Structure formats: structure tokens, C-alpha cells
Amino acid sequence: MTTDVTASARTLRAGFVGAGFMATVHSRAARAAGAELTGGASSSPERASAAVERLGLANAFGSVDELLADPDIDVVHVCTPNTTHAAIALAALEAGKHVICEKPLATSVADAERLRTLAAERGLVAAVPFVYRFHPMAREARARVAARETGRLLSVHGAYLQDWLAAPHDDDWRVDRALGGPSRAFADIGSHLVDLVEFISGDRIVRLNSTIRTVYERRATNVDIATEDLVAVVVEMASGAVGTLLVSQVAPGRKNALSIELSGTDASVRFEQERPDRLWVGRAEASSLIERDPARLAPDAARLSLVPAGHPMGYQDAFNAFVADAYAAVAGTRPDGLPGFDDGARAVRVTDAVLRSAASGTWAEVAA
């Protein structure tokens, strides 16, 4: 259904847990959606105060518990290191808050399932920022596949390549299992790829065979690194289509290169998130590169197209649209394509299968 992504739920009161890049992006989106930015908490009162000042929030909370106990907060944005997501999201739901939790939703299947069940039982909005769904041309690809323009799905071919860990000295909390969890590259960015492949295709990965590599076992501060830098996966979809996914954080020159190509019996579609205002539509007789033009897009793609053709949209726009839809859901509407804890748990199950397959050297089934 159609929602106004610019004017939903003006009086929502948002709290933020975390103080890094993602907390900045979330708070910008919350502000754009008209929420009151009630306050923030972090790993220490000092970090919380610094984040509150930087992000322009009203109050610094001494702890996450204090933030969750505040009756003036309706929705909690969880933007902390991966291994803390599940406990904070769980406590937020228990406290009766709506939750927007960063991916990976959890670092174990059991925790992800617990969160999914609790969110459903409580009837609270529980969303995961698979924000690449919110690029209008990704929606356009989905609409064309759903309208059978591409025919019967034959293959999927996706990659998500970055280079911010390409040099041996590059380092980050994500490489440390204690903070990042047992999977790094796949949980961090492969989860986006899984979500987008399944969202656009309307299909599901049912089994897979993966190989993983840790290229650097020591970095600037982390040693004995046991999380993967790159992953190659062969997938089988429920429909019988087959595909490959390549995920790397050590691909020099690639900054945030997520690309997806689906080929059916009649046509192919290709979306690249670094050039999000375009969609390639391939046909044997003639292919075309379609530029975003709201007047010519499917309704769902036009809805998310906030500015006219020729005026580029980008990452923060997609994030803003995601948060606006999550807040619209809090206000009682049901925006199409809002990624929830079901989707977050789904990506955790696929990640678990990737690790199982890599460890065993055999195919792994993905739990439905």
C-alpha cells in the first residue's frame, strides 16, 4: 500500500544505542521522518555524551537500561557492535519499545528466532535496515520480475565487494569475533546481498555450498583473526534457479559495490547500488539502461522516488525511506516491503548455512 514517506508519525520519540557511523545515519533518517530525537546511550556515559552532542539528540543516558526505562521513548534504534544486538533488541521489546535493529539481527540462529518470535508476540514494529530495498530502481526490478517480464527465473548472480579491509593494517571491531560474531564479511554485507536477491526475485535460497578465506590473520590491533574476509557461494533457489554470490571486504578499488543480476527465460535485470538510479534490462534482441523517472516507474518504485528524473538519489535517501516506512508502520500502516525481524532472522539462517558449508566442505540446507 502507499504511504507518504516524508510525513509519517511526526511525534514519534526515538532513542539511539550506539555512537558510530550507523547511529549517525539512523539519527539523520529519524530527523528527516519528523521524530523527536529523545536521547542516546552507548558503551560508556562519556561516549553517550559525545554522541548526543554530535548527533544533536536531547539527552545522554548513563546506560542502555536507563534509556529503555524512559517512558518518553517509543522506538529504539540499535546501532551497536553485532554481538550486542540480540540482547539489546530483546530488552527493548520486553520494555514495550518498537525496535529498529542493525544487521546482523543476531549472531546465532537461536537468538534470531527468539527475537522474531518475541516481536510477533508483542505486536511491536521490529525492523532491520536492509535499506538497499529502498532504492526505487531495486523496487522497479522487483516489480518487473513479479510481473513476469523476465520470464521463469534461471539464474541469480550477485556480488558485494568492499576494500576498507584490503590492506593488512586495516582494522575494525568487526574483525574480532567477540564483537563482530562468528561471520564477518557475510554477516555484515552478505546479509544485504541475500536480502536483496530474495526480495527482488521473490524466491528463496534453499541450499548452498560455500568457501571462505581469512586473508589476514593479524591486523593493526587484532591478532589470531578468525572471521572471514571473503566468501564465494553457489546457491540453489526454491524455484530451481541457480546462482553465485561473491562477498569480499578485501577487493581493492571496490568501495561498496553491491550488484545483482537476475536472468529469466525472457529478460535479465541488473541493479548496482553504487549507481542506484539505473536499472539494466537485458534482452537477447536489445538491452537498455533505464534511468529513474518516477513518471515511468512501477507504483512502489515511484512512491520511493523523492525527486524528479535527473536529480540523483543515494544511500541516505534509501535509509530515510526505510526509517519513514518503519515509523509509518508504528503509526498503523503496512508499508509494502518493510524488512522486519523475519527478514533479519532469514539472513542469519543463510549466514549460518554459509559457515556450516565452509566448515564441512559440503552442501548445507538453509532452514525455511
Q: Which chain residues interact with ligand SOE by CB under 6 A?
A: 162, 188-189, 192, 256
Output the DSSP codes for 201-264: HS--EEEEEEEEE-S-S--SS--S--S-SEEEEEEEETTS-EEEEEEES--TT-SSEEEEEEEE
How far is the C-alpha of 123 from the C-alpha of 118, rounded, in Å?
8
CB of 147 to ligand SOE, least distance (A): 28
* Peptide bond between residue 104 and the one before it cis (omega within 30 degrees of 0): yes
Q: Name the residue nearer to ligand SOE (CB basis): 144 or 177.
A: 177
The answer to whether the beta carbons of residues 191 and 180 sit under 8 Å apart is no
CB of 196 to ligand SOE, least distance (A): 11
CB of 319 to ligand SOE, least distance (A): 9
Q: Name the residue nearer to ligand SOE (CB basis): 189 or 197.
A: 189
171: its cell numbers:
582494522
Strand pairing category for 126-127 and 13-17: unpaired
CB of 78 to ligand SOE, least distance (A): 13
CB of 248 to ligand SOE, least distance (A): 11
The answer to whether the beta carbons of residues 26 and 16 sit under 8 Å apart is yes
337: its cell numbers:
516491503
Q: Name the residue nearer to ligand SOE (CB basis): 162 or 305.
A: 162
Q: Name the residue nearer to ligand SOE (CB basis): 57 or 189.
A: 189
Please give the residue whose beta carbon sits closest to ligand SOE in the complex.
188
Q: Name the residue nearer to ligand SOE (CB basis): 143 or 179.
A: 179
